[in-house]
Amino acid sequence: MNEETKLTLLLRVALATAFTCVAVKWMVDQLDPTRDKKNKAKQQAQALMTKLRIKTNIQLTEYELAIASNLVDPESIPVSWKDVAGLDSVLQELHDNLILPIKSKKHFPSQLLQPPKGILLHGPPGCGKTMVAKATAKEAGMRFINLDASTLTDKWYGESQKLATAVFSLAVKIQPCIIFIDEIDSLLRSRDTHDHEATAMVKALFMSHWDGLATDSSKSSVVVLGATNRPQDVDKAILRRMPSSFYIGLPGMEQRRQVVLTILKDERVASDVDLETLARLTEGFSGSDLRELCRTAAVYGMRDSLKSTKTTDDTTMAEEITMENFSQALAKMRDSKLHCGTLPLSRIDLD
């Protein structure tokens, strides 16, 4: 075999190897069931970053881009603090503890004037935890990552851990930033010896990076905001990292009046509707129940008005919601709540 043949053979082998490598990579990419999801997330992240005017010179890794698709555009959030009724003290505390220290950092250089490492909102279902978090995203004027637990899952070993790390590295790059984890008990529940290895490692990484931020808290402004109705299921070490916690409980009478007033602010309500009476009759109702009550009453109002008037396609009906509609809606809801066992028996009106 002469020199020239040897060289040609070597070249052919090199070409064949390179081609095989590219082909195998392409095939693996094509076979990856999450490929479309990843590409979409990347495009979404880039669009969001441009919209949020995040500096283009920030270099993000592939994992950080995947997490960036969870960034929230405050303008797209329909609720603000004005829509949250009866929780003024919680909102004030959130403003003073979370927003103020970050906004006034320049003027007050004290080491103590830092936001807490983490904030936990807890309390019974339907009382406004998620709503408060959403409204905070709108009001805070900070970057807001609404962390979707499914973003952290990946079929390849080690990828979930890299994504968990990316949550914090991205937050530090785009700070000041709030990382919101809704139903935090499902992602960061108490560690157990039977935990899957990947899950255990994600939890451990979360804890170490979370504390890593705290050690550098004089420079970084990253806060984790969690919401749950099962705080007893959240890992104790995670709870420690959320030293500031707010209980959002069932609304009292005055709070219920305020919630109904806020929900009905843009509706046509008859003059006979007495909010005090409604608030008195709805003991044990959450904010979400009150919203459902108003919705049902509005539907009954619409039904009554359709019965009494003939409509054509062009007519716009704007019937008022009457106290009678509220009474019917209340009777229906109480009945169904009693059967579900969600209304305590001590709270039944016997008349």
Ligand X SMILES: Nc1ncnc2c1ncn2[C@@H]1O[C@H](COP(=O)(O)OP(=O)(O)OP(=O)(O)O)[C@@H](O)[C@H]1O
**Can you give the binding site for ligand X, defined by CB under 6 A?**
84-87, 125-131, 227, 229, 259, 262, 287-288, 291
Distance in angstroms (rounded) separating the CA atoms of residues 114 and 137 = 19
Q: Of Mg ion, ligand X, none, which one does residue 147 interact with (CB within 5 to 8 Å by kind)?
A: none
Strands 222-228 and 143-146, sheet pairing: unpaired
Please say which residue, 116 or 226, places its beta carbon nearer to Mg ion. 226
Please say which residue, 188 or 213, places its beta carbon nearer to ligand X. 188
Strand partners, 314: none
What minimum distance in Å lies between the beta carbon of 125 and Mg ion? 7
Distance in angstroms (rounded) separating the CA atoms of residues 206 and 41 = 22
The answer to whether 246 touches 93, Cβ cutoff 8 Å, is yes
What minimum distance in Å lies between the beta carbon of 275 and ligand X? 14
Please say which residue, 49 or 181, places its beta carbon nearer to Mg ion. 181
Please say which residue, 148 or 159, places its beta carbon nearer to ligand X. 148
Q: Please give the residue whose beta carbon sits closest to ligand X in the complex.
A: 287
Among 44, 61, 130, 244, binds Mg ion (CB under 5 A): 130
Distance in angstroms (rounded) separating the CA atoms of residues 85 and 82 = 7
Phi, psi of 32 (to 5 degrees): -65, 115
Q: Of Mg ion, ligand X, none, which one does residue 291 interact with (CB within 5 to 8 Å by kind)?
A: ligand X
User: How much helix, strand and coil, in percent to the nearest 5, is found in the chain?
Assistant: 55, 10, 35
Please say which residue, 166 or 184, places its beta carbon nearer to ligand X. 184
Looking at residue 140, its amino acid is A
What minimum distance in Å lies between the beta carbon of 57 and Mg ion? 36
At how many degrees (to 10) do helices 287-308 and 323-340 cross? 130
Buried b (16+ CB within 10 A) or exposed e, 25-56: eeeeeeeeeeeeebeebbebbeebbeebebee
Q: Of Mg ion, ligand X, none, which one does residue 287 interact with (CB within 5 to 8 Å by kind)?
A: ligand X
Q: Which residues contact 107 (CB under 8 A, 6 or more apart)?
A: none
Q: Of Mg ion, ligand X, none, which one does residue 85 interact with (CB within 5 to 8 Å by kind)?
A: ligand X
Candidate ranges 127-135, 162-170, 205-213, 258-266; the one touching Mg ion (CB under 5 A): 127-135
Please say which residue, 85 or 166, places its beta carbon nearer to ligand X. 85
What minimum distance in Å lies between the beta carbon of 126 and Mg ion? 8
Q: Of Mg ion, ligand X, none, which one does residue 342 interact with (CB within 5 to 8 Å by kind)?
A: none
What minimum distance in Å lies between the beta carbon of 298 and ligand X? 14
What minimum distance in Å lies between the beta carbon of 228 and ligand X? 7
Candidate ranges 38-46, 122-130, 136-144, 313-321; the one touching Mg ion (CB under 5 A): 122-130
Pick out residues in 13-72 that bind Mg ion (CB under 5 A): none
- Residues touching Mg ion: how many (CB under 5 A)? 2
Q: Per the structure block, which two tokens stand in for 158?
A: 């080690």
Left, alpha or beta for 141 (phi > 0: left; psi -120 to 50: alpha)? left
Chain position carrying tokens 């008022």: 320
Positions that interact with Mg ion (CB under 5 A): 129-130
